[in-house]
Amino acid sequence: MRRNLLEQAKAPDLLQIPINIPTLGREEIKAVYAVLQKGQLTSSASQGGKNVQEFEKSAVSFVKSKFAIAVNSGTAALQAALYALDIKKGDEVLLPSFTFVATANSVVSVGAKPVFVDILKENYTIDPDDLRKKITKKSKAIIPVHLYGNVAFIDQIIEIANRYNLKIIEDAAQSLGSTLKNKHTGTFSDLGCYSLYPAKVVTAGEGGFIVTDNEKLYKKLQMIRNHGMVHGYDTRIIGMNLRMPEINAAIAKVQMKKLGKFLGIRKKNAKILSELISDLDIQIPQERKGEYVNWYLYTIATKNRNKIMKTLNSTGIGATAYYSTPVHKTPFYHKKIRLPNTDWAASSVLSLPVHPQVSEQNLSFISKILHKALN
Q: What is the pLDDT of residue 1?
A: 37
In tens, the pLDDT along 253-283 reads 999 999 999 999 999 999 999 999 999 999 9
This model's pTM is above 0.85: yes
Determine the structural domain holding residue 350 and report its residue range.
259-374
Is 130 part of any domain?
A: yes
Q: What is the pLDDT of residue 127?
A: 98
Is 221 part of any domain?
A: yes
Domain boundary pick from 254, 285, 312? 254
Q: What angle do CA 203, 327, 244 make, to 5 degrees?
A: 25
Is 230 part of any domain?
A: yes
DSSP class per residue in 22-91: ----HHHHHHHHHHHHHT-----STT--HHHHHHHHHHHHHHT-SEEEEES-HHHHHHHHHHHTT--TT-
Both 165 and 249 in one domain: the answer is yes
Q: What is the pLDDT of residue 94?
A: 98
Nearest Cα residue to 103 out of 148, 158, 142:
142
CA distances, 348 to each of 239, 307, 319, 325 (Å): 40, 11, 13, 11
Q: Which residues of the chain have pLDDT under 50?
A: 1-14
Both 285 and 234 in one domain: the answer is no
Q: Is 99 within 8 Å of 171 (Cβ atoms)? A: yes
For β-strands 139-142 and 92-96, DSSP reports them as: parallel
Both 222 and 277 in one domain: the answer is no
Query: What's the domain count of the chain?
Result: 2
Is 13 part of any domain?
A: no
